[in-house]
């Protein structure tokens, strides 16, 4: 990374770099809305500390003095962690997530917390309880989600690097719509300790950056085995940042037949096929493959993910932490209702009234959760309920296994799979907010990687005639991030799509 080289050489200070990005946030974030929280004093204090240690020739971490934005879903003792929800509006974590701890150990300057769909449930960042995030390329359009703030802040040059999470495409999809690089690692490659869970078997933390090399550096910083996370993989960690520049010899590229069907925007298809042609010019062999069970991926995902969300979000009950309804108002309401029933001589209604505890649970959750979170909790609770578990959740797990087997068979024939990130470029804000199914289908090309536990990356591969970014998705076999990164960098070096930037937006 050029900035890191300048910092290491002493040609620029971390305070200067950090202040520059803070100035950019001040100038543009009023229009874009990428950040929920930016701590100016904390960021500048850390930057000054790094500068002092650098001048004293003390040992420094690999990101020393470099600003990094973090999605508001990872615990950090020094900043709020709201998950863009009223439920956690005043929550201050008592410990650091492993990813945040690794960033601090690397001497990164944590510049702020980025906006997201509430509890990472959504594909447009319109489900945040606090604000809208807008796409820097067109402020009338969505940045994608749920890591919309993380992608938008990088695209708008408010941070050189950011951390997002990906449960069904929530890094790759906003990266594609905002024209930046977003990488979802293999499930278990990056620790989930301290990540506020949405769907525990699908969630994964990953980097967003302006180019593949920077994403590789950030991934190398946050990845690795963590004994605090039982799903963390104890596997060797390649030096991604040094391997990224090595082209792949004899690359076998797979094109999924099912990805180029009805519903794919012609401009998106043209850009993706042009990207495949670039690979062919670089010596890659292109082969058409099939993922026959991919047509079931969205339906499978929207049984498994809400089921896990229903379980994970049961802890938000108003007892231990997070939002709790106004108990005095609730008790007054309860007394009024009871008095009215007794006055009417309706003892049965009095006997059937909710207990104060149950009423407190219900009101707390009704007030604390937004509509999309409630929708997914209800879907998941239904799928897990007696009489429906086998018909829905158990069947979805079986289909998930078939989806993984399709990928296993494909990767015996190819090294990487190339295709679109989304069927359409960035959509207008509000365009899909009244149609949950249409919003769910935005993740058509991305959810399979989460179900199969595979790594995937989104990188810019073109623009529409109206100037909106188009993303290319590459997917690799489990733990083949090195192949994924090197393959993505090959394309990046042969094109200049990643160098384009949106016009500055004034607050």
310 is catalytic: no
Catalytic: 85? no
Angular region, 134: left φ>0, alpha ψ -120 to 50, beta rest:
beta
Question: How far is Cα 438 from Cα 435, in angstroms, rounded to an integer?
Answer: 6
Strands (E), 215-268: 252-256
**What is the distance of C-alpha 344 from the center of its chain?**
54
DSSP state of 210: S
The DSSP 8-state label assigned to residue 392 in this structure reads I
CA 469 to chain centre: 18
Is residue 39 a contact partner of residue 47, using CB atoms and an 8 Å limit? Answer: no
How big is the chain, counted in residues? 507
The partner residues of 70 in beta bridges, in order of sequence, read 113, 163
DSSP 325-366: --HHHHHHHHHHHHHHHHHTT-HHHHHTSPPHHHHHHHHHHH
Is 71 considered catalytic here? yes
Residue in the structure block whose two tokens are 């910092």 = 7
* Torsion over CA: 32, 36, 39, 43 (sign): negative
Block residue for tokens 């298809």: 269
| 62: number of Cβ within 10 Å | 16
Helix 327-343 with 356-368: angle, nearest 10 deg:
120
The first and second tokens of residue 384, run together, are 């897990």
What does the block give as tokens for 482?
């090195």
Q: For 50, left (φ over 0), alpha (ψ -120 to 50), or beta?
A: alpha
Please list, in sequence order, all residues whose beta carbon lies within 8 angstroms of the beta carbon of residue 243, skipping any fewer than 6 positions away: 216, 482, 485, 486
Which residue is catalytic, options 71, 102, 104, 184? 71
Active-site choice (162, 170, 191, 307): 170
| Active-site position among 146, 162, 232, 241 | 146
Identify whether the C-beta of residue 435 lies closer than 8 Å to the C-beta of residue 124: no
Distance CA 253, CA 281 (A): 12
The CA-to-CA distance between both ends of the chain, in Å, stands at 29
**Backbone phi, psi, residue 281, to 5°:** -65, -20
Torsions phi, psi of 417, nearest 5? Answer: -110, 130
Cα–Cα distance measured from residue 231 to residue 199, given in angstroms and rounded to the nearest whole number: 13
Catalytic residue annotation: 71, 146, 170
């Amino acid at each position: 990374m050029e900035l890191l080289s300048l910092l290491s050489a002493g040609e620029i200070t971390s305070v200067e770099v950090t202040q520059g990005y803070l100035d950019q946030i001040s100038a543009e974030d009023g229009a874009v809305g990428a950040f929920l929280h930016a701590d100016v004093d904390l960021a500048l204090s850390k930057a000054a500390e790094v500068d002092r240690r650098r001048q004293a020739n003390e040992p420094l971490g690999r990101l020393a003095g470099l600003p990094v934005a973090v999605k508001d879903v990872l615990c950090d003792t020094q900043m709020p962690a709201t998950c863009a929800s009223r439920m956690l509006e005043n929550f201050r974590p008592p410990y650091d997530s492993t990813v945040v701890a690794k960033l601090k150990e690397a001497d990164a300057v944590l510049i702020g917390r980025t906006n997201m769909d509430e509890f990472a449930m959504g594909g447009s960042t319109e489900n945040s309880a606090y604000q809208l995030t807008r796409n820097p390329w067109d402020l009338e359009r969505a940045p994608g989600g749920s890591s919309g703030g993380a992608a938008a802040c990088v695209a708008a040059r408010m941070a050189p690097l950011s951390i997002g999470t990906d449960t069904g495409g929530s890094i790759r999809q906003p990266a594609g719509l905002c024209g930046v690089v977003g990488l979802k690692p293999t499930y278990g490659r990056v620790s989930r300790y301290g990540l506020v869970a949405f769907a525990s078997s699908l969630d994964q933390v990953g980097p967003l950056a302006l180019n593949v090399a920077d994403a590789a550096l950030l991934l190398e910083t946050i990845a690795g085995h963590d004994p605090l996370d039982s799903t963390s993989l104890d596997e060797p960690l390649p030096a991604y940042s040094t391997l990224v520049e090595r082209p792949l010899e004899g690359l076998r590229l797979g094109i999924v037949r099912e990805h180029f069907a009805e519903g794919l925007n012609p401009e998106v298809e043209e850009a993706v096929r042009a990207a495949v042609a670039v690979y062919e010019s670089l010596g890659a062999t292109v082969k058409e493959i099939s993922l026959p069970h991919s047509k079931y991926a969205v339906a499978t995902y929207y049984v498994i993910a809400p089921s896990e969300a229903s379980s994970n979000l049961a802890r938000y009950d108003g007892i231990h932490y997070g939002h709790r309804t106004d108990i005095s108002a609730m008790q007054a309401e309860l007394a009024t209702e009871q008095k009215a029933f007794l006055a009417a001589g309706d003892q049965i209604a009095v006997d059937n009234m909710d207990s104060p505890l149950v009423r407190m649970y219900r009101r707390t959750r009704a007030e604390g959760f937004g509509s999309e979170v409630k929708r997914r909790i209800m879907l998941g609770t239904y799928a897990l309920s007696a009489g429906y578990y086998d018909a829905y959740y158990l069947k979805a797990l079986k289909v998930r296994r078939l989806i993984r087997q399709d990928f296993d068979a494909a990767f015996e024939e190819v090294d990487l799979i190339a295709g679109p990130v989304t069927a359409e470029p960035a959509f207008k804000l509000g365009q899909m907010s009244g149609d949950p199914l249409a919003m769910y289908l935005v993740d058509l090309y991305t959810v399979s990687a989460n179900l199969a536990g595979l790594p995937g990356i989104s990188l810019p591969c073109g623009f529409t005639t109206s100037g909106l970014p188009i993303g290319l998705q590459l997917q690799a076999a489990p733990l083949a991030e090195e192949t994924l990164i090197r393959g993505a960098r090959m394309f990046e070096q042969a094109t200049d799509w990643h160098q384009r930037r949106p016009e500055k937006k004034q607050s």
